[in-house]
């Protein structure tokens, strides 16, 4: 197909930035589930957790939740973070990473970005950590793993917990280890536009297995669900709990998506690598990618840095190609204002108006990706 024909195709069809992956069998699966007595948290949730564990966690137990944000809040509670505790966290992330810390009343200490990956800057992390630090939170932006060996060394030196927000990193690896098996706590997200979805949902991975039963209680009002299901209704509640469980309806979609995951990640990586190969040769474009052989990239986002970001976005929009800045620096939001007074973040300042995310999902074809690259290179 010629460049002109591709242009006509794109004008007619359009390319959206995100599109949820829904397995073809989902309708039948949901119909079957709706004919049972379980639509809330039931046997399908257990089945989904076990399947996830087998694929990503070497069989270690995990806890599904109603959202990735729920999973983060549980992780912060289980890590022992309390009011006024200092927590180091990325300045550049979805606000869902940091808002649960506000629930607790923790003191947030933001860390600048590494301009190569837009993950936490290790240099700035070393400057920001102190004896007051209770935990380090890191985010694998776009599916690019953070420098976990360095983060773990720093955490060990200061004897603090590491919490990975891996909402964007399902299927990623660092130093041959699956993301989810490395740190004290790791969370994943199954929100609508993630690699796979349960409508909305999350997963919490916990290193200390003594905390598993506590996590299950807190996920469900502080109630010991096993005892309650045995008909023992007079059970004490000793911990403040939340309504953070996944449903069997969501787990049914998620389970089939796990079966399809290799196909999903393979396609996303194919599109990711087309962008990388074709755009990295343009001297006016910097691709957010660090070429680290220790890392297996999860390809949730593909991000470029470009001086003419607004110009390029408008040009692509005229061709019905959607692009955007998916996340925004958290220090600009009023809810975090008290944590950033007189604070400077030089790397974030430099690139905050230059980053742009390109479409990468299962509905983007190889031909569309190549066409998008040709357009971008012709514009800049």
- Kind and range of the H or E element at 139? strand 133-139
Q: What single-letter DSSP state applies at residue 247?
A: P
Q: 3-20+261-379: what CATH class?
A: alpha beta
CATH number of 26-259: 3.40.640.10
Q: Which helix (H) or strand (E) holds 286?
A: strand 286-287
The two counts, helices (H) then strands (E), for the chain are: 14, 13
Domain spans of the chain, in order of start: 3-20+261-379, 26-259
| Secondary element (H or E) of residue 163 | strand 161-165
Rounded Cα distance, 246 and 39, in Å: 10
Backbone angles phi, psi at 341, to 5 degrees: -60, 125
User: Whole-angstrom Cα distance, residue 304 to residue 285?
Assistant: 7
Neighbours of 326 (CB within 10 A): 18
Count other C-beta atoms under 10 Å from residue 124's C-beta.
20
How many residues can be counted in the chain?
A: 380
Check residue 4 and give its pLDDT: 45
275 vs 168: CA distance, rounded Å: 18
Give bridge partners of residue 290 from the DSSP assignment.
none
**Span 212-250, pLDDT tens digits:** 999 999 999 998 877 777 666 677 888 999 999 999 999
Upper half-sphere CA count for residue 337 (Cβ side, 13 Å): 3
Distance between CA atoms of residues 65 and 218, nearest Å: 11
Q: How far apart are CA 32 and CA 232, in angstroms?
A: 30
b/e map 108-119, b = 16+ CB within 10 Å: bbbbbbbbbbbb
The pLDDT value recorded for residue 70 is: 98
φ, ψ at 5 (rounded to 5°): -65, -40
Give the per-residue pLDDT at 342: 87
Rounded Cα gap, residues 284 and 111, in angstroms: 27
Pairing of strands 302-305, 286-287: antiparallel
Helix residue ranges, H only, the chain: 3-13, 26-34, 43-56, 68-78, 99-104, 122-128, 148-158, 212-219, 225-229, 248-259, 261-279, 309-318, 346-351, 366-379
Sign (positive or negative) of CA dihedral 347, 348, 353, 357: positive
- What pLDDT is stored for residue 12 in this prediction? 40
Q: Low-confidence residues of the chain, pLDDT below 70?
A: 1-13, 230-233
Give the separation between CA 345 and CA 79, rounded to whole angstroms.
27
Distance of CA 177 to the CA centre of its chain: 17
């Amino acid at each position: 197909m010629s460049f002109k024909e591709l242009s006509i195709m794109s004008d007619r069809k359009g390319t959206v930035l995100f599109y949820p992956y829904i397995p073809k069998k989902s309708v039948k699966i949901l119909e079957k589930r709706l004919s049972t007595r379980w639509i809330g948290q039931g046997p399908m949730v257990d089945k989904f957790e076990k399947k996830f564990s087998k694929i990503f966690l070497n069989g270690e137990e995990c806890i599904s939740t109603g959202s990735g944000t729920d999973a983060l809040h549980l992780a912060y509670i289980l890590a022992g973070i309390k009011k006024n505790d200092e927590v180091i966290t990325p300045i550049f992330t979805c606000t869902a990473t940091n808002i649960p810390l506000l629930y607790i009343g923790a003191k947030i200490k933001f860390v600048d970005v590494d301009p190569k990956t837009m993950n936490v800057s290790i240099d700035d992390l070393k400057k920001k950590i102190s004896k007051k630090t209770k935990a380090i939170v890191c985010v694998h932006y776009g599916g690019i793993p953070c420098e976990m060996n360095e983060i773990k060394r720093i955490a060990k030196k200061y004897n603090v917990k590491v919490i990975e927000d891996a909402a964007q990193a399902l299927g990623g690896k660092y130093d041959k280890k699956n993301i989810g098996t490395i740190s004290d706590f790791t969370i994943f997200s199954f929100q609508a536009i993630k690699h796979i979805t349960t409508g909305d949902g999350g997963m919490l991975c916990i290193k200390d297995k003594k905390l598993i039963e506590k996590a299950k209680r807190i996920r469900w009002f502080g109630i010991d669900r096993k005892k309650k299901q045995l008909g023992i209704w007079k059970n004490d509640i000793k911990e403040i709990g939340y309504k953070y469980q996944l449903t069997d309806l969501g787990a049914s979609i998620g389970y089939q998506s796990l079966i399809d995951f290799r196909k999903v990640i393979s396609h996303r990586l194919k599109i990711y690598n087309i962008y990388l190969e074709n755009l990295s040769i343009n001297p006016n474009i910097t691709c957010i990618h660090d070429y680290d052989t220790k890392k297996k990239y999860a390809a949730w986002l593909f991000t470029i840095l470009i001086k003419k970001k607004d110009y390029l976005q408008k040009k692509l929009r005229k061709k019905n190609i959607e692009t955007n800045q998916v996340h925004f620096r958290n220090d600009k939001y009023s809810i975090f204002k008290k944590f950033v007074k007189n604070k400077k973040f030089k790397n974030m300042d430099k690139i905050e108006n230059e980053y742009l995310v390109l479409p990468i999902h299962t509905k983007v074809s190889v031909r569309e990706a190549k066409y998008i690259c040709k357009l971008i290179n012709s514009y800049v």
